[in-house]
Amino acid sequence: MKQNKYVILLVEDETNIRNLIATMLETAGYQTIVAGSCSEAKTLYASYLPDLIILDLGLPDMDGMNLLNFVRQNSLTPIIVLSARTNEADKILALDSGANDYVTKPFGSGELLARVRAILRNNRFSAEEGRLPGGRFVLKDLCIDYDARQVFVKEEVIKLTQTEYNIVAFLSENCGKMMTYAAIIKAIWGDYVQEGSIKKLQVNMANIRRKIGDKPGEGEQNYITNELGVGYRLNE
Amino acid sequence: MRKNTSYIKDSAITVGLLIAAFASSLLFLQFDVEEHITTVFVFAVFLISLFTNGYTYGVLAAVAGTLAVNYAFTFPYFALNFTIPVNLISAIVLIVLSLLTSALTTKLKQHEAMKAESEKESMRANLLRAVSHDLRTPLTTIYGSSTTLLENSRAMTEEQKTKIVNGIKEDAEWLIRMVENLLSVTRLDSGQVKIIKTPTILDELIDSVILKFKKRYPNQKVVLELPDDVVMIPMDAILIEQVIINILENAVQHAIGMTSLTLRVFTRGTSAVFEIADNGYGIDPKRMETLFTGHYASEHEVADSKKKNAGIGLSVCATIIKAHGGSIKAENLNTGGAVFRFALDTEEINDETE
């Protein structure tokens, strides 16, 4: 067994779900500390400084968003949000407030563990993930040359417009993280979301995905995944 | 908001029609056929009562019409005089007419609203009946299996345990899908039938659909035939996603002997046609009529009917597509198998990608 286990703080008020997730995490080799309320979680967070927080949004004493904001005041500890709500608005709010990812209840153990692994790995390399010296980003057959502002797939240059390049570069800097429409629009056009801007982004994105050879339904085989009504992710 | 706009619309109708009546009366005066002027106003008041809500506009128009006829178009001209019997009678006729028409149209509108409401009510009742029956079966498995495991796990072989746990998993998955369907319906209700459409890229929709479907049925291949162009469709994407998944799932569960499942989307004029076709056994013609109503499940239920959510998924589909202003159809193919088809309006993409 590894000596140096990752410490995960699990914040969930439903005892059954908490026990279940704790078991999932422990059998996968993570050290898990659990909290059943927001205030308890704050105390545990301060004394353990966990590597990752799994946070249920519906807590008895305060909304989970409260803890999310509390942690984000002075730390970049990755946070995965658990949400029973299928409402996209909640996901967007959590992501835009600094959550790294979310998992919608109900979920299987594979789904949660995959997210945990991805985030821990990602966080260790941080933004340097995939970035090679000389300002290049490499992911499978995709290569971005930041200096030349060019994108290659299988060594072949992909003809992208300025905007399309900017979007791909932005996603690559946040590789593995779900970026909301609002976050991308802010980064690319410096705008807040307004009438038509999401549509503009979607059309650009549709063109990018065609150009780099993503096909609908290929899932993780694709470079870019979309979550309807929420945003896009460049898969690791 | 909606109230305000209806006030504005009704007032506009009233004023517009009155002006039209007044203008044509002036013309009539020109041609010396003033005996028909009252008829023109009668007609205008009738139309106003017909096209506006409630009594107010009709009665106001009747009063205005009476005054106008009396003042401008009958003897003595440009003076009010109700002592002449003809004028008095035409005033009474106008007001009575407006009251009767308004009463009639109001009643008609109420009747229509009631009919729509009861239709929705009966659909909801059907759904609830089918669902509550269907929920019990998987819960029985889950509850029974978990207690068995807790109490007798020592006496059981690993194989038996795996089998029981698999049963729990399958039925829990089934419950998840059922709840998703129910959530879709409540999402429809809370939006009061009017759904919120957002422009959605077809490829993104299909991407999301296929990912979810693959998670549930990793071994079922879906052949995709999609248009080459980027297509944008205003829709409630979560709901349309549910529709396509339900139909695909329906094929997996009911199309006996199916070896290929195709999801085809093509554009025809300004609409996008979605077709989900299988090459299975086809749909029993007896079931065709009630396929989308959810009736079949409750009326022909067999005691041990294996929770195949017969009808619920498809009736949810029909409701969602109807709320999008379309309709869904199913037919058997000559070549064997069945096809489900629905269409949605597309939106133009103005090429401002820079």
**Tell me, what's the pLDDT at B271?**
92
User: Selecting from 2.40.160.20, 3.40.47.10, 3.30.2350.10, 3.30.565.10, what CATH number does the domain B195-354 have?
Assistant: 3.30.565.10
The domain spans of chain B are 2-116, 195-354
Tell me how far apart the alpha carbons of residues B285 and A219 are, in angstroms, rounded to a whole number. Answer: 37
CA distance A50 to chain B (A): 31
A190 and A95 co-located in one domain: no
Per CB-CB distance under 8 Å, the chain B contacts of A200 are: 352-353
A178 and A118 co-located in one domain: no
Nearest to B176 among A106, A225, A227 (CB): A106
Q: Which of A85, A102, A127 is the last residue in one of the domains?
A: A127
Amino acid at B25: S
CATH number at residue A194: 1.10.10.10
**Tell me, what's the pLDDT at B276?**
95
Q: What is the pLDDT along chain A (236 residues), one digit of tens a residue?
A: 445 789 999 999 888 888 999 999 999 999 999 999 888 999 999 999 999 999 988 777 777 888 999 999 888 899 999 876 566 778 888 888 889 888 888 888 888 998 898 888 776 554 454 555 567 888 889 999 888 889 999 989 999 999 999 999 999 888 888 899 999 999 998 877 777 888 899 999 999 999 998 888 887 788 998 888 889 999 87
CB-based contact, A69 to chain B, within 8 Å? no
Q: Which stretches within chain A are classed as H helix?
A: 15-27, 38-48, 64-72, 88-96, 109-125, 162-173, 181-189, 197-211
A100 and A62 co-located in one domain: yes
A168 and A217 co-located in one domain: yes
Nearest to B198 among A210, A227, A229 (CB): A229
Buried b / exposed e over B64-95, threshold 16 CB at 10 Å, is: bbbebbbeebbeeeeeeeeeeeebeebbebbb
The residue among B1 and A29 whose pLDDT is bigger is A29
Per CB-CB distance under 8 Å, the chain B contacts of A164 are: 353
A117 and A51 co-located in one domain: yes
Domain containing A35: what range? 7-127
Q: Do A159 and A210 form a contact (C-beta atoms < 8 A)? A: no
A58 and A80 co-located in one domain: yes
CB-based contact, B236 to chain A, within 8 Å? no
ipTM of predicted complex: 0.77
Q: What is the mean pLDDT of residues B295-313?
A: 50
Nearest to B205 among A88, A219, A228 (CB): A228
- Domain contains A179: yes
Angle, nearest 10°, between helix axes B158-190 and B237-254? Answer: 140
- Domain contains A2: no
When mean pLDDT is compared across B58-62, B296-300, B323-327, the lowest value belongs to B296-300
Nearest to B353 among A207, A219, A225 (CB): A207
pLDDT single digits (tens) B95-121: 787 788 878 888 888 888 888 777 777
Q: Do A94 and A57 form a contact (C-beta atoms < 8 A)? A: yes
Tell me how far apart the alpha carbons of residues B87 and B70 are, in angstroms, rounded to a whole number. Answer: 6
Per CB-CB distance under 8 Å, the chain B contacts of A217 are: 206-207, 209-211, 214, 222, 224
Cβ contact, residue pair B353, A203, below 8 Å: yes
Cβ contact, residue pair A228, B204, below 8 Å: yes
Q: Which band of pLDDT confidence, cut at 50, 70 and 90, is reported for residue B130?
A: low
CB-based contact, A209 to chain B, within 8 Å? yes
Q: Which band of pLDDT confidence, cut at 50, 70 and 90, is reported for residue B351?
A: low
A110 and A168 co-located in one domain: no
Cis peptide bond prior to B76, omega within 30° of 0? yes
φ/ψ of A210, rounded to 5, equals: -65, -45
Per CB-CB distance under 8 Å, the chain A contacts of B349 are: 199, 203
H or E segment and range at residue B2: helix B2-30
The total of other beta-carbon atoms located within 10 Å of residue B334's CB is 6
A81 and A148 co-located in one domain: no
Q: What is the mean pLDDT of residues B226-252?
A: 90
Nearest to A217 among B176, B224, B353 (CB): B224
**Tell me, what's the pLDDT at B177?**
80
Give A104's DSSP letter: E
pLDDT single digits (tens) B258-285: 889 999 999 999 999 999 999 988 888 8
A60 and A97 co-located in one domain: yes
- Domain contains A1: no
Domain count, chain A: 2
A140 and A202 co-located in one domain: yes
Cβ contact, residue pair B241, A228, below 8 Å: yes
Sheet holding A224-227, edge to edge: A179-180, A231-234, A224-227
Q: Which of A94, A110, A127 is the last residue in one of the domains?
A: A127
